[in-house]
Amino acid sequence: MQKPSHRTHCFAEFTLDLTRGCLLQGQEEIKLRPKSFEVLTYLVENHGRLISKSELIQAIWVNTAVTDDSLVQCMKDIRHVLRDEAQRIIKTVHGRGYIFDGQVRDNGSASVTTNAEESGGVQVIEDLEVESSSGSATGVGAARPTTRPMLLTFTSSPEYLVSEIKRHKRGVAITTVGAVLALTAVAYFHFNRNHSLIPSGNAIDSVAVLPFVNVSGDPNTQYLSEGISDNIINSLSRMPALRVMPLNSVLRYQGKPIDPQAVGRELNVQAVLIGRLTQHGDDLLISAELVDVRDNRQLWGDQYNRKLPDILVVQTEIAQAISQSLRLRLNSQDQKQLAKHYTENTEAYRLYNLGRYSLRGGQEKEKERLEQSVKYFEQAIRIDPRYALAYVGLADAYHQFGFRGFWIPKDAWQKAEWEALKAVELDDTLAEAHVALATEKLPRDWAGAEKEYKRALELDTNSAEVNRNYATYLAYSARPDEALLYAKRAEELDSRNATGMRPANLAYIYFLARDYDTAIAGYRKALEKNPNNAQYHFFLGEVYVVKGMYQDGVAELQKAVAFDNAPERWDRYPILAYAYAASGKRDEALKILNEQKRLAKERYISPYNFAIIYTGLGDNDRAFEVLNRAVDEDVYVMNQFPGRPMFDRLRSDPRYMDLLRRMNRTP
């Protein structure tokens, strides 16, 4: 018989198809990211040999600067899809590398061959011993075991059919013809029953959970509609093989007519979950359907008539139904994570979701909204003192108080750090807790912050937020190549192309890497879709200014402050003053400086504001004076200082290095 025309490596029950670039278990394609596939291929092709981490990185990431984290993530992906086999055949030699210790067969096993032309469109399985119907193979007068080809249809995987035949051999003796017919029928039923939702090799690996529609329209229950979606998203996002859109990406569909296929195209996902919630007192009516947006086919749908205290169970049931409908390959740990409740108290859960809802409320009445969110989180913690997520919410709220200038930064960071530490103490497996702790460690403890980011990535590699935050940290740390790797990964996970978010987020990393032309192109592209976005105009203006295009920069910054004209804004008016000063309009810069000084008598204004303006004016003495004060006050945005291009003009001053040392940064 002819050999297959394409290259494969087989091990255990798996096949690496090098021509198609995929991993198969039987006939089912298993999703594996490209780099993870390359790592597995390299290990398999070098089976039996110790492969060091450095060798793997050099072989897979040619001429690319990456950290061990990239390799560790690939190994995590591989172990997840291989499940129990991974422990047996991939050995980790601590401190040295990896060994693939399994038997490898190139281009398939000698005992299983596929050739449609020779077999007339069927699979031929040879060399299987089938007992004669005349008696036992071991009994007196038993017929000799025979070797004969057996014809089985393509609809079943070879490995499954082999196991079925051997299983039936251990039972009663059956005729050869009966074995063929019976086992073909069993295999066909078994295979098609478990693969009916999605064709083999075409599994869904991305989903968007849209905000549940608040059918009653009662604004007092809107928090619950968003909270259900948010909690399902959080549960699913921890599944390594699934890309899930974060809540911020889907909130814009709230209250709008939904076309699942249009949403799928905009968010670059293959499935969309649409849900509806009706609440009357404690009575809940929840309906949900999962749609394959590729052909607008419903994969799953159900309706739940429950009481409010059952809401935690319903969320888990929906998340589990989604995972089953998408045919996710979950190990026991994944299943446990999917069913995890962070509290068993419904009232604590309700208060937590109210707190999150308040935090998402935007800048209108911002201080009152933050105060309300703190009350909700504190009430949730009083009811359930072990509710780790509530401590994370409280840390986030305290952080915003300091970041927006409502509290003295040092007081805000100390409170936020304590809450984040408590969350980690209660649940070290909670990625959100480690992100919160990393945030509060900056700008004083850079090494400690990176440790927390890495731990969060280890726990939730599919979180766009974690990848994006770590990318920004790396960019501020003057590690642009690494930053771009994580930034691009974040955008793969959060494909908001339709909103312009993707080019804008990447543009910021390019800006910090001093690649101004690429950054400008990114912001221009983002503004094509969002012409009134103040933040995009602001960042584009800053890029123009540091590139020396002062007229364009001033024009963009003026647009930004026109959209949001709060005079205390640290991230807009001071940059505009810097632009005025750098372009020679010193009087205009001094007007903004004097207005900032006036505001500082009424409320807290960050020294960082004044540092930006003094740097633009060329007054280095006062710039370093207020920068040192910002370090004393634990001003959070000082984490931007080493990476922000506008401060490059201070680098030649010896006081610059002294300031970095005060921030625990290596000069």
Ranges in the chain, pLDDT < 70? 1-6, 62-67, 69, 87, 94-95, 107-203, 362-364, 495-503, 565-571, 666-667
3-state class (DSSP) for residue 375 = helix
- Count Cβ atoms below 10 Å from residue 453 Cβ, excluding itself: 27
Encode 497-514: b = buried (16+ Cβ within 10 Å), e = exposed: ebebbbbbbbbbbbbbbe
CA distance 634 to 399: 12
What confidence score (pLDDT) does residue 64 get?
60
Q: Which residue has the tokens 């200082």?
A: 641
26 φ, ψ to 5°? 70, -125
Q: Output the pLDDT for position 152.
A: 34
**Using CA atoms, how far apart are residues 497 and 613, in angstroms rounded to an integer?**
35
Which two three-digit tokens encode residue 483?
Answer: 């930053």
The SS3 assignment for 430 reads: coil
CB neighbour list of residue 649: distance below 8 Å, 6 or more residues apart: 615
Rg (the chain; Cα; Å): 30
558, 561, 565, 567: CA torsion to nearest 10: -90
DSSP state of 361: S
Task: Give the span between the Cα atoms of 645 and 396, in whole angstroms.
Answer: 28
- DSSP-assigned states of every residue in 26-56: TTEEE---HHHHHHHHHHHHTTTS-EEHHHH
pLDDT number for residue 249: 85
Distances in whole angstroms, Cα of residue 251 to Cα of each of 206, 392, 398: 17, 21, 24
| Rounded CA separation 402/409 (Å) | 4
Length of the chain counted residue by residue: 667
Q: Is the peptide bond before 443 cis (omega within 30 degrees of 0)?
A: yes
State the alpha helices, DSSP H only, in 345-495.
Answer: 346-359, 366-383, 388-403, 409-426, 431-441, 446-459, 464-476, 480-493
Query: pLDDT value at position 94?
Result: 67
| Residue 102: C-alpha distances to residues 14, 22, 23, 44, 194 (Å) | 11, 19, 16, 8, 28
Residue that has been written with the tokens 């959060």 in this structure? 494
Amino acid at 615: T
Q: Please, are residues 327 and 203 in contact by the beta-carbon 8 Å criterion?
A: yes
Residues 6 or more apart whose CB falls under 8 angstroms from that of 245 comprise 207, 208, 209, 233, 267, 269, 494, 495
Q: Cα separation of 545 and 425, whole Å?
A: 45
In this predicted structure, what is the pLDDT of residue 113?
A: 34
**Residue 598: C-alpha distances to residues 226, 350, 367, 402, 620 (Å):** 41, 42, 21, 20, 22
Label each residue of 263-322 as H, E or C: HHHHHCCCEEEEEEEEEECCEEEEEEEEEECCCCEEEEEEEEEEEHHHHHHHHHHHHHHH
Q: Which two tokens stand for residue 318?
A: 């929906």
Four-point Cα dihedral 290, 291, 293, 296, nearest 10: 180
What are the strands of the beta sheet with 150-152, ordered from one edge? 112-113, 123-125, 150-152
Instruction: State the CB neighbour count (10 A cutoff) for residue 25.
Output: 19
* Phi, psi dihedral angles at 407 (to 5 degrees): -125, 160
Measured at the alpha carbon of residue 234, what is the angle toward residues 233 and 235, in degrees to the nearest 5? 90
Distance CA 153, CA 185 (A): 10
Q: Domains of the chain (ranges plus CATH)?
A: 8-106 (1.10.10.10), 112-194 (no CATH), 206-341 (3.40.50.10070), 532-667 (1.25.40)
CA distances to 7, 133, 630, 661 from 611, rounded to whole Å, are: 62, 92, 9, 18
Residues whose CB falls within 8 Å of the CB of residue 118, separated by 6 or more in sequence, listed in order: 1, 2, 124
